[in-house]
Chain A
Amino acid sequence: MSQAPERTNLGHYALVVVLALLATGPVYIMLMTSFKNQVDMFSRVPLWIFAPTLDNYSVVLFDKKFDRYLFNSLFVAIISTLITLALAGSAAYAIARKDFWGRGLVSYGNLMIRMVPPAVIAVPVFALWSRWGFSGRFEELWGLTLFYTALNLPFAIWLLFSFVKQIPEDLEEAAIVDGATPFQVFRLVIFPLMKSGYAVAAIFTFRIAWNEFLLALFLTGRKARTLPVAIQGFLTDEGVEWGRIMAMGTLIVIPSLVITFFAARQIITGLTTGAVKG
């Protein structure tokens, strides 16, 4: 029986191109709009070819506060990613390899807690925020870091768990026979073999923390404001400053685009773990 796929291949490739354009089009339009001047932006017919200008970027970048927003976003995203990875790896190892009382509870609890909507967390966190006395720029940034770490840990643990599972147990047993302590086993045997897992976990953790909006909007004062909160400030009642929004949107999306181009394989691993391998 012939499946005769060859004849339809041209149609397939056309479909692939159309889909790729649909997926990237809106992002491309943002990029394009960010280089338009006021006149071109409100031209009656959308302009695809125009004289690009950096005006929008200079307004956004030379706003005195941009570097502060950028710093704040980098701070919470990088530090919470580092802490998440540091804690999730050993926790995943314990759940995957050790027998202990409460193991089932921990693994189920971890998966359940992943499903909690962030909006539900935002409400009590807001109430706790003032009771715990987070105020001032760096206290707020550390506070956000704490909650981003907590929000990211369940997914990171779950992801790294599946990577630990793939490591043959013989390797650990050999190390134990050679007299390695449990911590040496983790540090010298497991950890080096999980590097690709850490890379995947880092991408997803960074993405969540870098993009997070709900908690940041109401928890941070002016000084600890992050980029996603700042961009929303351009949606004013007097009018929407699309040029600046698109310029800042492009700047916010840059890390994600870089990751998408250079780590597509890792992203796909992260998206499919559990659904496919589970």
Chain B
Amino acid sequence: MKSLRAALSEGLIAYAFLAPALLILVIGLVYPLFTTVQMSFLDYQMGTPWESREWVGIRWFEKLWSDPNVWKSFWVTLRYGFWVVLIEMIVGTGLALALERAIRGASFFRTALIMPLMVSPIVVGLIWRYLFDARTGMINHYLGAWFGIDPVPWLADPHIALTSLIITDVWQWTPFIFIIVLAGLQAIPKEVIEASTIDGANWWQMTFLVKLPMIKSVLIVALLMRIVDVYKVVEVVFILTEGGPGLETELLALHVYKTAFLSQNLGYASAISMLLLAIVTVLSLFVLSFSNPMKTKSDF
């Protein structure tokens, strides 16, 4: 047991190590989040002085509850999230399983795969806007030249625009799942694989009864991290469609952004932010219940 005095001094030292980071976090994140809560009860427009704010109680939350645009963009986010996460998980995991042996030592492949993750989201949006362009885009050109398909209005057609965004997201993020699952597979002890080979496991048994169950927690964490990320997407959509046509691709985070900076209604944008924060908080608690890497035995 430590003496009280030793414990106290250890605590003080810990605070000294933490203080600078905490100070920045409080000023730059915690206080702004607190301001969001505060503004969600205020009528406060962009460009007006802070003194002109007015207390409106839960008016924004009432408006939010019956605002079809908010629910529409929530629905768009759910659909977008469902498809990107489903496709990326299946394709990423499948490729990791298929290529686990083949890419040993193929470092060029690793480097190539990281590229979509490193490119700035704004640039990703611009590149794909160029590729999707209905008249001059390469995608339409080759669809026409090779398959005789008429030009597709990728970003302008309300039924197709969301699919175009999903394609872009899948391009950018499937490598992330691939890399994580691959690392998980490579962390499986060799003895386990050897033992099941000796026991006569075939490929299917090896994959579904040995490998996948052993990396279950890796898969769950990757899945949850991707779901949380869906609620952060703004830039790529902002460049590709700006949420249009209509509200067909207006993801929730983009809706917050547009409410604040185009409609200039900071109060209402804060109320929608609260909805977004509530969703992300619930998801984060799930993430933490599966994996909290910062937990130690002395946690309380």
Contacts and interface: CB of A to CB of B under 8 A. Distances in A.
Question: A and B bound?
Answer: yes
Interface of A: 1, 3, 5, 9, 12-13, 15-16, 19-20, 22-24, 26-27, 29-30, 33, 41-42, 45-46, 83, 86-88, 90-91, 93-96, 98-101, 103-104, 106-108, 110-113, 115-128, 130-131, 146-147, 149-151, 153-154, 157-158, 161-162, 182, 186, 207, 210-211, 213-214, 218, 228, 231-232, 235, 240, 242, 245-246, 249, 252-253, 256-257, 259-261, 264, 267-268, 271-278
Contacts of B106: 16
23 contacts: A15-B95, A91-B18, A91-B21, A93-B17, A98-B10, A98-B11, A98-B13, A100-B10, A104-B300, A106-B18, A107-B299, A116-B280, A117-B253, A119-B234, A119-B254, A127-B44, A127-B266, A149-B28, A150-B29, A161-B294, A235-B126, A256-B118, A268-B114
A147 B253 CA distance: 18
Contact of A26 (B27, B131, B203, B299): B131
Contact of A122 (B115, B260, B296): B260
Given A111-B288, A127-B35, A268-B179, A158 B113 contact: no
A261 to B, nearest CB: 6
The residue among A15, A119, A128, A149 with the most chain B CB atoms within 10 A of its own CB is A119
Contacts of B295: 107
Given A26-B131, A146-B24, A256-B118, A101 B11 contact: yes
A214 B118 CA distance: 17
A228 B119 CA distance: 12
Contacts of B187: 276
A122 B257 CA distance: 8
B114 to A, nearest CB: 5
Interface in B5-63: 7, 10-11, 13-15, 17-18, 20-22, 24-25, 27-33, 35-36, 39, 44, 46, 50
Interface string B100-120: 011100111111111111111
A252 to B, nearest CB: 6
Of B15, B20, B111, B175, which is in contact with the most chain A CB atoms at under 10 Å from its CB?
A: B111
Nearest to B242: A235
Contacts of A146: 24, 27-28
Contacts of A103: 14, 298-300
Interface string B137-158: 0100110010000000000000
A41 B107 CA distance: 33
B89 interface: no
B24 A150 contact: yes
A23 B294 contact: no
Given A1-B200, A9-B102, A268-B114, A275 B184 contact: yes
B15 A100 contact: yes
Nearest to B42: A127
B120 A256 contact: yes
Contacts of A126: 46, 260-261, 266
B293 A274 contact: yes
A275 B107 contact: no
Given A107-B299, A275-B291, 5 more contacts: A12-B101, A29-B138, A146-B28, A260-B111, A260-B114
Which has the most chain A C-beta neighbours within 10 Å: B17, B50, B131, B273? Answer: B17
B128 interface: yes
A275 B218 contact: yes
A15 B98 contact: yes
Contact of A94 (B18, B110, B238): B18
Given A252-B123, A272-B180, A20 B39 contact: no
A115 B287 contact: yes
B292 A123 contact: no
